[in-house]
Structures are given as structure tokens and as C-alpha cells.
Amino acid sequence: MTGIGRRAFLGAGGVTLATAVAGLAAHPASAATAQRPTAGAGAHSAFRSTRAARRAPRNSGQRKLIEAGWDMPGAVFVRDNIATMQLTQFDGVVFNLMENPGTKYVQAFDVFGPQQVLTLADMKIDVLEAIEWGTFTDNFIYAYAYAQEAGGIDWFDDAIWNNSAAKIALLGQALSASGAKGIALDPEDYGADTWIYSSAQFPGKTYAQVCAQVRLRGAQFMTALQTAKPDVIVLFYFLGVMLRYQSENYEGHEYDSPYATFPAFVGGMLSTMADTVTIVDGSEDDYYHDETTQFLRSRQYQEGAWYLLPATEHEAYGRIEMGSTVYVDNTLGHARAGIASKYAYYSSLTATDVQKWYEHNVYHSMLKSDRYTWIYSEAMTWWNPAAPFPGAYDGLVNAKAKFNAGNRLGYDLCRYSGFLDLAVKPVAVSSAVLSLSGPAHGAIKAEGDVVILNASLAAPADVHSYVVYDNGREIETSLYAPHRTAITLSKGAHTFVARAFLADTTHVTSNLLTVVAN
């Protein structure tokens, strides 16, 4: 959940999301041109042809802001303070059944130690039933997936897994009593070796044998969870980027990855996931984005993880909803030293700079997501009106209002040196105004209807290309303006947006249009 400390990304020999997303650059020869797509049958078209079918999200298209930080409230706190909590801009919260975060969380599956046994009393059913959520419509019970004791998880111990199934049944009662949508599942290992493979941990068993067993446990976990709540939503804090990381950066020796067995567990979940269940990829590494195009590029990268899974799971992976996140401390200028050092320019940021960065990331996280954006903070709390960082409330209010109305944010964050160059401070660009017209924002259509979209600039500008996106996926690129494209609607929610890439290597983003096809 913290991002920092995860060896897979920030440790020695690891890779950052910036390195991973670089693979999406349309022109990899130089960073300066990487943010400009080529029109016609170029790299983008080739990349499109390799993608698996992806289902439009089966929701209203409305975005939800979910609070999920170190100020995570317990059930009793929520019951006693929910009226005050609703004064924020959130649509829900990730909460803990216990009142002591960090000492007794409900786990996603069982591990060794005293916390492995829970009773109905631990679920606090009476407390959960007494919560009057009001405007907090989408709430999640926190669960983590890391081994608390030395030796990690014994995936072959049936007694542990029988107990795990019993615990998930209890969790189902808590979900029912609270009315929560599901669980927020944090799969980060926090140095606990949850997902590793080693001959010392599994003597006499090959990597393939251990993965087969982990896959079985993933299937059992999903079966138990959807039996307890048939329409459960599982909000993974990260998913697709980790599937690609461990497979592509350890290609040929995946067993050496600190997340060596994670894809097997996810594959097991997908193999038994019912159509009524929703899995959300929470995109934790969106914490660090500081340039506009990084959001949709990272979405494409995460969606592309389908090819790493067995063919029998491609359809299920195509039903995963994309989520996103905002790291409040980072974008509002309060990052810890280890985070701030990622950006060579961080110490030069002004109050205006960080407010723009924060509001930008809230808006573009909502644009990247299909439904959920979780707002993560560490050194502040939202539940004391005097405690949030200056600008935290205002940024949420402004970004949410613009997005819900379908309006442009008003500026893009751009780098003349390339979208991944963290040594260079991004600049806010609003020199060109791009508009997207078509059906009314929020329109309801029928599956199979054709909609016409027109992207045009308010004034002439030296444009390299125009790109139109549907749910973050590029659907057409053109060199000409005004740019017109026709889209046949598949069933589900569609969010359309256009982007103009200018000749000076900057870019501007249009207003958005959300259409739901029934």
C-alpha cells in the first residue's frame, strides 16, 4: 500500500513503472518523441492488433472517489463518526474491522501466527449493522495478503486453507452486515516473502508444482469469496503491472522474482470468477505520475498483461475494471525523502505547482479508471476537518466537479524532453483548446448504436496528430482537423476523450463524453 519498500519496484535491481511504461512509446528512438503517436498503420496500429478483447465496464460510467490511507478507520470509528466523514468529497472508504490498524487486519487468506483464527465476534456484526452510510455508497473492508511469520505461506497445508475458507465465510457475514461492496485487497508482501519460490521453502517441489498449488489456492479463495457474496468487488491495490513486471523482467527465470507465484494466484481467481463478480486493478503505481499521458499509457500497459495468462483466462481478464489512485502526500508537496528523491525538481515546486499537480492527478486518475479512484495519504487524516493538507479538499472538489460535468481540466502537464524524464519539471500547457463533440455527456444509448465524435481546436495550431480514446484505449489517430470518427457502441459504459499532440512535443486534452449503451 505504501509503494515504498516494495522490492519489486524500488529495490536493488528492480524496475520502476516509468521503465515499464516506456515500452508503450510510439517512437522509442528518443524520449522527446515518445509522447507523440504516429498516425495510420504505425506502431500504435500494430500494438492494437495484439490486444485481447476487452469488455466495456458494466456500470453507469460514474466515477467514485474512495478514501484509503494510513488514517484507515475501524468499524466503531465509522459508526460513531460517519456523519462527519460524509462532509468530505468521498463516495466511500476502505475501513478496517479492527480499531488497531497494523496489529489485527482481516487477511485475504490465512497465514501462520495468532491472527490466523477469527471468530464471529471479530466481525462486529452489531457495529456494522448500525452504520448509516448515507452518501458513502461504495465501501470496502481492508484485507492484506502477506505472511506475518518467518517461512511465508505453506500453500500445501490443507488445514490452513480449510481455516481460511471458514474465515472468508465470516468475512461474508461482515460484508452483508455492513453493506460494503467488497474487499480492498493489498497483495504487497512488505518484505514477508509471500509470493516467492525457493527450494528451501518448498523442498522437493519444482517451481511449476508450487505455481500449480498456488493457482489452486487462488481458485479456492475466489470460490469461497463469491460464495459468501455473489456480487463481491475485489479492489486489488495493484495487479496488471505486477503480472507484467515479474514475467517480463524475469523472463526465463520467473522463479527468482519476489512475486514469482503472484500470477498463479491471480490466474486461479480468474479461472473460477463468476460473471457477477468484479475485480478492479487499483493501479497503485499511479502514485508517481507527473505527466498527463502517463495515465492512459499505463492503462494500456496493464491491460496488455492478458497475454501472460492461459488462454482460458483471457476472457475473464478482459472483464477486469481499471482503477487508479492518487498519492496525496506526493502530489501536494509532502512526500517522504525516499519518494521526493525520485524527482530531481521536487524541492523547486511552488504551492501553485503542487496544487496543479494534485488536481491534475485526481482528474486524470478518474479519467483512467472505469469506476474507482482511491485516494491515498500518510501524514494527514481526512476525518479531522482541521488536519488535511492545505488544498487537499479544494483539489478534490475542483477535479471532481470538472470531471462529472464533462469539462476539460484546463491544462496538461507536459515535458519537452519526454514524458518519462523525471529530471525535468513538467509545465502546465493550456495554449490550445481542444473540444470533443458528439452525443451529450451522460447520454444513454442502445448496444449497437453508432455515435459520431468530432475533435477540433478552437484556434489553429501546429498539430502533429490527434488521438481519440474509448475507456483509455486508442481507437483512432489522425493528422487532420477537425477529426471525425464513428464508433459502434458495445454494451456498457464508454468514456470518450481526445488528445492533440502538438509539434513542439506538448499536448492538450479535450473535454470528455460518457455514454452508456444498454
What is the pLDDT, as a whole number, of residue 52?
A: 55
For the chain, domains (ranges, CATH) are 7-93+191-226+240-405 (no CATH), 431-517 (2.60.40.10)
Band of pLDDT at residue 384, cut at 50, 70 and 90 = confident
Residue 364 has pLDDT above 50, yes or no: yes
Q: What residue spans of 233-313 are helical by DSSP H?
A: 240-248, 262-272, 293-303
- List Cβ neighbours of 268 (8 Å cut-off, separation of 6 or more): 214, 215, 216, 217, 218, 219, 220, 221, 222
Residue 12, all three cell numbers? 536493488
- Asked if residue 474 lies in contact with residue 497, where contact means CB atoms within 8 angstroms, the answer is no
Model pTM? 0.89
Strands 443-445 and 434-437: unpaired
Residue 344 has pLDDT above 60, yes or no: yes
The arithmetic mean of pLDDT across residues 339-362, rounded, is 96
Residue 415, all three cell numbers? 515535458
Q: What b-and-e string marks burial along 295-312, b requiring 16 or more CB atoms within 10 Å of the CB?
A: bbbbbbbbbbbbebbeee
Side-chain-side CA neighbours of 191 within 13 Å: the count stands at: 5
Bridge partners (DSSP) listed for residue 65:
373
DSSP structure class, residue 74: B
Side-chain-side CA neighbours of 218 within 13 Å: the count stands at: 22
Closest by Cα among 183, 294, 182, 277 to 241:
294
What is the pLDDT, as a whole number, of residue 28?
A: 28
Side-chain-side CA neighbours of 227 within 13 Å: the count stands at: 13
pLDDT (tens digit per residue) in 417-471 = 777 778 899 999 998 899 999 999 999 999 999 999 999 998 877 888 999 999 9
Q: What are phi and psi of 394, to 5 degrees?
A: -60, -40
The reply to whether omega before 203 is within 30° of 0 (cis) is no
Residue 350 has pLDDT above 50, yes or no: yes
What's the CA gap between 60 and 463, in Å, rounded? 34
Tell me the one-letter amino acid at 452. Answer: I
pLDDT (tens digit per residue) in 112-151 = 333 557 889 989 999 999 999 999 999 999 888 776 656 6
CA distances from 139 to 67, 95, 233, 269, 396 (A): 9, 8, 10, 22, 18
What is the pLDDT, as a whole number, of residue 162?
A: 82
